[in-house]
Chain A
Amino acid sequence: EDQVTQSPEALRLQEGESSSLNCSYTVSGLRGLFWYRQDPGKGPEFLFTLYSAGEEKEKERLKATLTKKESFLHITAPKPEDSATYLCAVLANNAGNMLTFGGGTRLMVKP
């Protein structure tokens, strides 16, 4: 069974304090790994897709990386507006188009 575990569940940072969020996964064969940002009361917003180990994607203060067992979302010098829940999801080779989501990491950045 495909599994996705995100850690930590919640993370408090001071503005400017860089950190990383973790997404560990177990799948029979990875077709893609997706990162989303979700603001309270809103739907998830797509951030990145990673397809193979060693791949990296960047967008403003965010950088996503991928290994064969996990993905990291690195946040450099975060700002209060980066506060949100970050969701990770995987698409496995044998899952058709069905994503398996992790439980998310709730990030709070204080000014």
Chain B
Amino acid sequence: SQTIHQWPATLVQPVGSPLSLECTVEGTSNPNLYWYRQAAGRGLQLLFYSVGIGQISSEVPQNLSASRPQDRQFILSSKKLLLSDSGFYLCASEYRDKGSPLHFGNGTRLTVT
């Protein structure tokens, strides 16, 4: 089974500072990878997904970007954080079989002050 590692678990950053969140996956190769954001008491919003190295699709125009430098590494970045970037960020992975479930990491709680 696959395991998704995310770090850091919590992060407090000032407005205007850069951001880098990392996600690595074990137990599978060539997965589809996803970044979601979850606001308090709300559902999951898809931010980015990737079907392979260097291949990134964005679902929502925003202050964030994503990169996939290796098969099982997915990075979420920002050059300058906004207050509205605060939230719970989740990385997810899935096997390439259609209809296979997403598996999530334990998330990063980002607070922009």
> Which A residues contact B (CB, under 8 angstroms)?
31-32, 34, 36, 41-46, 49, 51, 87, 89, 91, 97-99, 101-104
Contacts and interface: CB of A to CB of B under 8 A. Distances in A.
A101 B104 CA distance: 14
Given A41-B109, A45-B104, A51 B99 contact: yes
Interface residues of B, number: 23
Contacts of B98: 31, 97
Contacts of A102: 43
B74 interface: no
Interface of B: 4, 6, 32, 41-44, 46, 49, 59, 90, 92, 94, 98-99, 101-107, 109
Which residue among A43, A87, A97 has the maximum number of chain B CB atoms within 10 Å of its CB?
Answer: A43
A105 to B, nearest CB: 11
A32 B41 CA distance: 24
Contact of A87 (B4, B32, B41, B43): B43
Given A43-B90, A97-B32, A104 B99 contact: no
A46 B6 CA distance: 17
Nearest to A10: B41
Closest 3 CB pairs of A and B: A43-B104, A101-B43, A32-B99
Contact of B102 (A31, A41, A46, A104): A46
Given A41-B107, A41-B109, A91 B99 contact: yes
Contact of A46 (B32, B103, B106, B109): B103
